[in-house]
Structure 1
Amino acid sequence: MIKPDVSISIVTYCADMSMLSLTLNKLKQAVDYISGVETNTLLTLIDHSPSQDSSVQSDCIVRYFGGDSELIIDPLNPGFGAGHNRALLTTTKYHLILNPDLEVAPDALQKALEFMEQHPECGLLTPAATWGDGEVQRLCKRYPTVLDLLLRGFAPAFIKKMFKKRLDNYEMADQLNNQDVLWDPPIVSGCFMLFRSDVLHQLGGFDPRFFLYFEDFDISLRAGKISRIAYVPQVKVVHHGGHASRKGWRHIWMFSRSMVTFFNIHGWRWW
């Protein structure tokens, strides 16, 4: 049993409190699972809600997670990545980026930290994920084309079915399974990113040019240039989020703007 030495950050905006409470409770269980010795685990929750009425209350964090936590409220909302960057001043060995709509398995942190300890070349770890209904959710991606992103994000189901082979290739379905570690996927999801802190500091955290969406694509590509990325299926989570197209026109606009920023930085591929 290794000593946990990890900081955790969660960024919220008008959070669904029942979902956030579940996330915090599951996270606490995962922290307790590795608490055979004195822990060094700090949770920072950054709330970008526009008003006090929609903000997370500190007693909610204490009730569902515990005392080793900090709440930062910033209604000016500089963006998802910029919010997480505020929690990067800690000196822990590892830092976990976590979504407020994600359940970690009780042994997820232990298995993730053990893998990182055993593989010092790994700078970023991503888990195996399912949706709430148990369907597999692939968090690893190949470098996207514009067509891939439009199909995956906005196409109706019958169109996606027509392009299933293409989308499966984009989501690395040919290489992912529930048993084998996959090294060096180009892009991994931001819903759960366990970084070696020195790698994250060397990267300077997330690029603040991405207000929402694609900040995880960008930091994955940058992380892969200075360390190795690993998909570790023994680390399991349930992710309830995603689906930008179902969140209204504002999210579609933010997705599109960030997509343009991403391709302007890393290079355009159309189809």
Structure 2
Amino acid sequence: MDHGVVSVSVVVFHPDQQLLARTFASLAQAGAKLARSAPGRSIHLYLVDNGGMPEMRGGLATALSQAGIACTVISGHGNVGYGRGHNLAIERASSGYHLVLNPDVDIDSSALAEAVTFLEAHPEAGLLTPAIVDDAGQLQYLCRQYPTLVDLFVRGFLPRAARRPFEARLARYEMRAQINEHDTIWDPPIVSGCFMLFRTNVLKKLAGFDARYFLYFEDYDLSLRAHDVTRVVYEPSVRVLHHGGGASRKGLAHIRMFLASAFKFYNRFGWKWL
């Protein structure tokens, strides 16, 4: 293991090119700040092409290179799913830390430096999740309690106006009483897969994502399994912006994948209705 390296895996499938360019530009800035704050630190990006990846050309490739970010493209395997795609990178990683990153996330320029500093000071932590904001700068409550079927249905499929009778349930599920922009929270049960920073040895002990999930719930599964081997921490000094949308806003195919993955998740960890 090269403990000076932070490896990063990004899985793409016909990505939004503008969002992907923003993600890599923010990674370049965060990588440059990490190198300045901790001499000897570097980033190795694994770009996993599940299909439809645009060419890495021009200013984007230059920005990554100038930030000292090495890039390995993994391609030719087809669309194997989100978790299996990341596993192709995790198997290759020999870093001290590994970041699972969505292609629609902008990383704050100080996020990686803050995250590594925190993990260096807290060896008991093996998985770090950041404060995640939306395009309007509002905090997204993406740390979760174990979901009931009602929670998932209301959160995923009801329009906002119809959620009012369920506000207390959703607040509990989304840990709104605990999660804020200034308090470190230890051991939230489930954290978002859009930005998961692991100690690489912990991630390898977990064997990465469960490949049985094609899309959705692979982060729920990995979060719950992580508690068996390490501590999980929400650290709001680490900030990112996430442009993502839910399954119901992406059409029928995504709803079917969401339901199929939910069935696998509950069969593994236990059904909880109310």
Q: TM-score, length-normalised on structure 1?
A: 0.94
Comparing 159-168 and 221-230, the one that deviates more: 159-168
Alignment of 1:83-162 (within 5 A): 83-88=85-90, 89-162=92-165
Q: Which residue of 1 aligns with 2:15?
A: 15
Say yes or no: does 1:70 pair with 2:44: no
CA distance in 2, matches of 1:135, 1:92: 33
CA distance in 2, matches of 1:243, 1:269: 21
CA distance in 1, matches of 2:213, 2:62: 33
CA distance in 1, matches of 2:255, 2:76: 24
Comparing 244-253 and 60-69, the one that deviates more: 60-69
CA distance in 2, matches of 1:101, 1:85: 19
List gaps (5 residues or longer) in structure 2.
none
SS at match of 1:34: helix
Say yes or no: does 1:228 pair with 2:226: no
Amino acid in structure 1 at the alignment position of 2:14? C
Amino acid in structure 2 at the alignment position of 1:82? R
Work out which of the residue numbers 175, 178, 183 in structure 2 matches 1:175.
Answer: 178
Give how far 1:128 is off. Answer: 0.3
Give how far 1:4 is off. Answer: 4.8
> Is the Cα contact below 8 Å between 1:128 and 1:232 reproduced in 2?
yes
The Cα offsets for residues 173-218 of structure 1, whole Å up to 9 and x where unpaired, read as 0111111100000000000000011110000000000000000000
CA distance in 2, matches of 1:249, 1:74: 27
Give how far 1:133 is off. Answer: 1.4
List gaps (5 residues or longer) in structure 1.
none
The Cα offsets for residues 195-248 of structure 1, whole Å up to 9 and x where unpaired, read as 011110000000000000000000000001110000001100000013111100
Say yes or no: does 1:55 pair with 2:53: yes
> Is the Cα contact below 8 Å between 1:122 and 1:228 reproduced in 2?
yes
> Is the Cα contact below 8 Å between 1:4 and 1:113 reproduced in 2?
no
Give how far 1:64 is off. Answer: 4.2
Give how far 1:75 is off. Answer: 5.6
RMSD: 1.3
Number of equivalent positions: 265
CA distance in 2, matches of 1:75, 1:203: 23
Q: TM-score, length-normalised on structure 2?
A: 0.93
Work out which of the residue numbers 26, 40, 46 in structure 2 matches 1:38.
Answer: 40
Amino acid in structure 1 at the alignment position of 2:55? Q
> Is the Cα contact below 8 Å between 2:31 and 2:42 reproduced in 1?
no
Amino acid in structure 1 at the alignment position of 2:107? V
